[in-house]
Amino acid sequence: MPNSLHELRAVVCSVFILTVLSLSAAAQQVALTPPMGWNSWNYFAEKVTDADVRAAADAIVASGMKDAGYIYVNIDDTWEGQRDASGLLHTNSKFPDMKALADYVHSKGLKIGIYSSPGPKTCAGFEGSYGHEAQDAQMYAAWGIDYLKYDLCSFIPEIMEKQAPKDPAAQMRLMHAAYDKMGKALKATGRPIVYSLCQYGFDAVWEWAPALGGNLWRSTGDIQANMYSIYANMSLQAGLSNYAGPGHWNDPDMLEVGNGELTLAENRAHFSMWAMLAAPLLAGNDLSKMKPEIRDILTKREVIAIDQDKLGQQAQRLDVEGQVEVWTKQLSAGSLAVAVLNIGDARYSTHPYHLYLSKLGLHGSQKATELWTGKAVQLTEGMPIEIASHDVLLLKIDAPK
Ligand code: GLA
């Protein structure tokens, strides 16, 4: 027991310092590899309910996705109800008890995410966090929330455009301050909460988001379940690789694997390219009804390992020949992943694509593994490659020369 005021002060002081140190260590430890999980928006959109989220958590476990690394079960927009007289936000009738839902998700060994906006309203017109940031962050922590997606939405017309009309730079400063405010509010809870910025890439978000505590930030508009949208979002990541790394990631938006009319080749190509980009792997399909071939894509270990490689390098686009492009990603232990993507028409033996290893900084022939088939392949300079429309050849070279 401390026996003087002086000693008591010293004890209180060191407890405080240790707490601050351990809180900031905890804050840094989230998202050391790109977050993996599921988000309700791309399939369920505004219809999502408590039951859908529970079913997704069940399916993550039953499908083998949890074992493959999917951990976050994220509720997107439309869970919000009204604020009471004290400003406390209540859920709407689709989510009768958020704490019970969080407990359920945690009981499966998973983590749970939620969604809000720095504006007065969310994108779907529900209650946002404007003016209630600290109160909302404390409530998330009390519920046991592990991940927040914070979506700009009405902050643009209601705050940025009204408070700084015709002054885009001042508008951007308001936006930074709003993301900073929630970043600090989350930190102040003491709970490690992944902080996902969603403002569609405005004002080179990758340059300033990490300093505000952002673990990932959308670098594009909304994805849709077609190859043109997937390709557009993917393309916008070119040149951003320096901004990605452990704890902070570019986010080309959630996966559409298994949604819409995407073919198997398209699903495979989409998943491969997100892995190459060290993108968050947040499945966006109805997991409880997914077909085995979609489950097989989402749980393909060798491809997930590319995404989750601990170096945290994002792929770079090193060659483009019209509709075919080649991206490479440095991996730990000196290995290299190579993706050849055909976004256009099929290239058959009459006019195959030729892979020039020298354009990738490689010298001479290389031993590689095709990751989707597991086959060993010998790569040679200028070798012809037949590649179907919207398909991908994903390779790993263990010892590149
Ligand atoms: C925005 C986001 C989407 C989704 C919706 C919800 O459009 O970019 O990802 O969260 O809002 O309303």
Cβ–ligand 1 distance for 222 under 6 Å, the answer: yes
Cβ–ligand 1 distance for 206 under 6 Å, the answer: no
Q: Which residues are 80's β-sheet partners? A: 91
Give distance in angstroms: CA of 149 to centre of ligand 1. Answer: 9
Structure tokens at 337: 């992943």
pLDDT in tens, 314-330: 999 999 999 999 999 99
pLDDT in tens, 92-108: 999 999 999 999 999 99
Residue owning the nearest CA to atom 9 of ligand 1: 222
pLDDT in tens, 157-205: 999 999 999 999 999 999 999 999 999 999 999 999 999 999 999 999 9
Q: Would you say 151 and 116 are in contact if contact means Cβ atoms under 8 Å apart?
A: yes
Give distance in angstroms: CA of 120 to centre of ligand 1. Answer: 15
pLDDT-derived band at 29, boundaries 50, 70, 90: confident
Indicate the top mutation candidate among 38, 40, 41, 223 to test ligand 1's pocket, ranked by most ligand atoms within 8 A of CB.
41
Does the structure show a pLDDT above 90 at 262? yes
Cβ–ligand 1 distance for 43 under 6 Å, the answer: no
Does the structure show a pLDDT above 60 at 25? no
Cβ–ligand 1 distance for 198 under 6 Å, the answer: yes
Give distance in angstroms: CA of 218 to centre of ligand 1. Answer: 11
Rounded CA-CA distance 308/38 in Å is 16
Helix (H, G, I), strand (E, B) or coil at 193: coil
Give distance in angstroms: CA of 123 to centre of ligand 1. Answer: 6
Rounded CA-CA distance 255/258 in Å is 9
Q: How many residues does the chain have?
A: 401
Catalytic residue among 50, 76, 151, 309: 151
Rounded CA-CA distance 257/299 in Å is 11
pLDDT-derived band at 71, boundaries 50, 70, 90: very high
Does the structure show a pLDDT above 80 at 27? no
Q: Would you say 369 and 363 are in contact if contact means Cβ atoms under 8 Å apart?
A: no
Please write down the HEC assignment for all residues of 320-347: EECCEEEEEEECHHHCEEEEEEECCCCE
Catalytic residue among 58, 180, 203, 222: 222
Of all residues in the chain, the percent with pLDDT exceeding 70 is 93
Residue owning the nearest CA to atom 6 of ligand 1: 77
Backbone φ, ψ for residue 82 (5° rounding): -110, 160
Cβ–ligand 1 distance for 306 under 6 Å, the answer: no
Structure tokens at 156: 């643009």
Cβ–ligand 1 distance for 124 under 6 Å, the answer: yes
pLDDT-derived band at 235, boundaries 50, 70, 90: very high
Does the structure show a pLDDT above 90 at 10? no
Nearest to 124 by CA among 87, 154, 155: 154
Structure tokens at 312: 């945290």
Structure tokens at 54: 């529970």
Give the CA distances from residue 358 to residues 324, 342, 365, 393, in Å, rounded to whole numbers and listed in that order.
17, 20, 10, 18
pLDDT-derived band at 37, boundaries 50, 70, 90: very high
Q: Which residues are 341's β-sheet partners? A: 325, 392
DSSP 313: P
Predicted TM-score of the model (pTM): 0.93
Q: Is residue 67 flagged as an active site residue?
A: no
**How high does pLDDT run on average in the chain?**
94
Cβ–ligand 1 distance for 151 under 6 Å, the answer: yes
Cβ–ligand 1 distance for 251 under 6 Å, the answer: no
Of all residues in the chain, the percent with pLDDT exceeding 90 is 93
User: Within a 10 A sphere around the Cβ of 45, how many other Cβ atoms?
Assistant: 12
